[in-house]
Amino acid sequence: MQSEPDVTMIAAAERFARTAQDEAATMRGQAARPWALVPIVAASGFAGLGYEIVWTRQLSLALGTEMMAVLGVIAGFFGGLALGAFALDRLIRRSTSPWRVYAILEAVIAVWGLISVWLLPAAGRALPPLLGTEPSPVLLWAGSLALPTLVLLPATIAMGGTLAALERMTRHARGEARVTSGVYGANTAGALAGTLASTFLLIPALGFSGTLLCLAGVNAFCALAALALGPVAGKADAEERRPQRVRDLRLTITLFATGLFGIAFEVLVVRLAAQVMEDTVYTFAGLLAAYLLGTAAGGLLWQRTGREATDGNLRGLLAATAFACITTAALAPYAGRLVEIASPADVFGELAVAIALFLVPATAMGALFGLLAQRVSDQRGSVGAAVGINSLGACLAPLLAAQFLIPAFGAWTALLAVALGYLLLLPPGRSALLWSALPAIFALILWLDPAPPLTRVPAGGALLAVREGPMATASVVDDAAGTRYLEVNGHFRMGGTSSTRSDYRQAMLPLLLHKAPHRALFLGIGTGATMVGGAQMPGVSVRGVELSREVVDLLPWFVDPPPASVPGITVADARRYVAADTGQHDVIIADLFHPALDGSGALYTVEHFAAVKRRLAPDGIFCQWLPLYQLDLPSLRAIIRGFLDVYPDGAAWLNHYSVRTPMLALIGSGKGGHPDIDALGARLQDPATAKVVRPMGFEAPIDLLGQYLGGPRALSAFAGEGPRNTDDYPFVTFDARRNVRALRAAPWSLLLAVTKDLQPDPNELLAGAGRDALGARLTAYWHARNRFLEAGASLPGDPRGAALIEAASPGLIDALRLSPEFDPAYGPLMGMAKSLIGSDRAAAARLLRRINEAAPSRPEARELLLREFGLRNE
């Protein structure tokens, strides 16, 4: 039996052991916590950039892709961050549990992320009617600023406070005062991962709603992890220093200006890169990722060096940032060559070019912000004020770049101005002149010897006109033959004088399919030829919507008469215009939109097709042109599925029989039904109409009906089951990599796949008496058309003269045998025969005999044989 002293000693020993164990556990928690916080810091940045990408794209669907709308969205996002950083700074600094505050902030973001799944589309539908079809730039910017600011405010305010909370948590966990730059770097590294994962994985797989759910899950992880880690070592001491403003006015100005210059630099480089890169959703993601990679590296490197935030170090970083920005300006004009070397069709090639442009200057910017933020943290005990001031500058940067720098100087020269702006921030002193000398001299050399333009000019051609604006650089170039082309951003060809006939036909096909059109709306103008072609149709008044002011300014180079004589051109985003319009149109014609180009995929969504249908008059029809030479098969099928959802009577038509630039039209109506063949024939015989359409090849109904590819049953079988291109699941936008590869394939590849798989049925097209006879003629005509297209695709290279006749004539003869009415084969064959009479009469006679054998019902070949050779083809 133990004595009482023994029991007391044992109990004391047990208490000592438990205390030692608790202290050991606490020490283990203290040691583990800095590393345990790293995933939280990175995950917070991951979710933040993921939200920014999704929300910006969702808002652009409603607000449009004009620069003023985009600027408003960015300003609203950064404005919310700044407000949150300022409003929450004191709360975070004085809280005894920054973990709990941080967890609440992440929970707010998660909840609002879930709410935004419904809220953003609903708010987006409400705004366009309030803005109207032609809002002033001020109203558009104000509306685009107000919508994201108000709708996203709870989330952006919470985001504005997360970095300050994370910095305070890390300081307490590490027991160090100077962790600001490292926290910023790790958070930005997470943002880099969020950019890549959202763009390349989450949105393509899950769409916007699914991605928002995943990001809300990341916020929930951050909140729960912070709560789990927070109590291990007890409460954090509240900051005892009194709340104070940033004492150094120069520090405030520098923080604001570096936010302004940093984002302005990003906008300008992205603007220049669009002229040499593919300008897809992946292009922008790669450029943003390169910028974030440099920024994260700079923050982490500055933390690693452990240097003091002295004026000397500040001068060095400001000068280094200026020099790095000027180096990028020197490299930018040659980015096109880098793209060619790095294989632009490969996303990693574009990413490599983006890194070459952004990595060094962004690294300097990241280190610079780390130094400035550390100074603020040393003064206030929190980094919130630094985030707020810097975000205010970033909020104004896109507006400064797009509305002042680019119009005043051009994007390239504006880069030099931004770089020199960093030198103006150098703390005064004798060494400031030394630090600024090299960057200033470098900038002066570049300014005196300007960079060559990024616009590509065809061999033997010339650059005729350029309009550089905040959205795009539009140019007019010609080639050695004198053919003019309209190009946007240096390499997107939007048409030219050689395609005027095809452009006219784009308007005339749908206008002829309508019984009596009076009002036509054109979405997308390009060179203006399609709209002008529509205006030439008797009794038709036209209106046009074009996104780019720069394109409209260059219309006089292509349109005769000039656009001043064609009223009704509106510079606006087509989606928002249609959503805000209250008028009714007999025919709405949507131009060719490059599917890989960032933003164009939104013009092929189910929701946009439905909005267009609401703008149709009772007997109206909608025609959506598709560039088969720029599409891949999955995107085409997704667009067709969505079109048939809205227009169950939808049909596919060809514009012409060229295999070099094949175009397919999806045409649907509000009521359905079959074309009135008798009314069509009467219109084609009307003298006023015939004067316009006959030069375009429309003389008889079969000339137009021969372009029919298939009706709803044939299209449904061709499209099969699969995804639709919708606002929430933008399949076409994120199919850009395959659509870019389609540009490098033979332009007729998809055309031949379509004509092979689509089986047109005359019963879907025709109705009424005489249907069987006309149906038989059309079936033969369609077979002849398909053989004609196959023959054109099989021509080797670019044969001319006798080589062309020898290569092309067999396929044309085959097409003519299938349908003697097929003029696209008969006309060229007769032209070949006539050209041979003066050079090789024997070959001409042989060809005429073959033509007469293939089409005995057409007398021209027989008469020419008799007249020129005295021969009869028995």
User: What was the pLDDT predicted at 393?
Assistant: 93
Output helix, strand, coil percentages for the chain, rounded to the nearest 5: 70, 10, 25
Whether the predicted pLDDT of 111 surpasses 90: yes
Helices (H), 64-97: 67-94
Provide mean pLDDT across the span 756-768.
Answer: 87
User: What was the pLDDT predicted at 11?
Assistant: 43
Report the alpha-carbon distance of residue 771 to residue 829 in Å, rounded. Answer: 30
Report the alpha-carbon distance of residue 194 to residue 43 in Å, rounded. Answer: 8
Provide mean pLDDT across the span 8-34.
Answer: 43
User: What was the pLDDT predicted at 363?
Assistant: 95
Neighbours of 824 (CB within 10 A): 20
Per-residue pLDDT band for 28 (boundaries 50, 70, 90) equals very low
Provide mean pLDDT across the span 604-608.
Answer: 96
How remote is the C-alpha of 646 from its chain's centroid?
24
**Cα-based distances in Å from 326 to 139, 338, 358, 440, 442:** 36, 18, 11, 9, 7
Neighbours of 10 (CB within 10 A): 11
Q: What is the pLDDT of residues 357-378, one digit of tens each?
A: 999 999 999 999 999 988 888 8
Least confident piece of the model among 35-49, 241-255, 769-783:
241-255
Whether the predicted pLDDT of 564 surpasses 60: no
User: What was the pLDDT predicted at 149?
Assistant: 82
Per-residue pLDDT band for 245 (boundaries 50, 70, 90) equals low
User: What was the pLDDT predicted at 236?
Assistant: 52
Q: Which helix (H) or strand (E) holds 208?
A: helix 203-229
Report the alpha-carbon distance of residue 257 to residue 382 in Å, rounded. Answer: 20
Least confident piece of the model among 117-131, 285-299, 786-800:
786-800
Helices (H), 401-454: 406-409, 411-423, 430-448
Per-residue pLDDT band for 4 (boundaries 50, 70, 90) equals very low
Q: What is the pLDDT of residues 252-300, one digit of tens each?
A: 999 999 999 999 999 999 888 888 888 889 988 999 999 999 999 999 9
pLDDT over 70 percentage in the chain:
89
Provide mean pLDDT across the span 139-154.
Answer: 82
Q: Three-state SS for 618?
A: strand
Q: What is the pLDDT of residues 631-646, one digit of tens each?
A: 999 999 999 999 999 9
- Averaged pLDDT of the chain: 85
Q: What is the pLDDT of residues 377-407, one digit of tens each?
A: 888 778 888 999 999 999 999 888 888 899 8
**Cα-based distances in Å from 220 to 33, 44, 105, 106, 201:** 19, 10, 10, 7, 20
Report the alpha-carbon distance of residue 429 to residue 326 in Å, rounded. Answer: 23
Written in H, E and C, the secondary structure of 293-317 is HHHHHHHHHHHHHCCCCCHHHHHHH
Report the alpha-carbon distance of residue 397 to residue 262 in Å, rounded. Answer: 8
Q: 489 versus 808: which is more confidently predicted?
A: 489
User: What was the pLDDT predicted at 388?
Assistant: 92
Per-residue pLDDT band for 66 (boundaries 50, 70, 90) equals low
Report the alpha-carbon distance of residue 185 to residue 175 in Å, rounded. Answer: 19
User: What was the pLDDT predicted at 309?
Assistant: 76
Range ranked top by mean pLDDT from 26-30, 260-264, 343-347, 673-677: 260-264
Provide mean pLDDT across the span 192-217.
Answer: 96
Q: What is the pLDDT of residues 312-358, one digit of tens each?
A: 899 999 999 999 999 999 988 887 777 777 665 566 778 888 999 99
According to DSSP, residue 587 is labeled: E
Whether the predicted pLDDT of 6 surpasses 60: no
How remote is the C-alpha of 367 from its chain's centroid?
31
Provide mean pLDDT across the span 480-504.
Answer: 85
Provide mean pLDDT across the span 801-811.
Answer: 70
Closest C-alpha to 522, from 561, 467, 492, 563 = 563
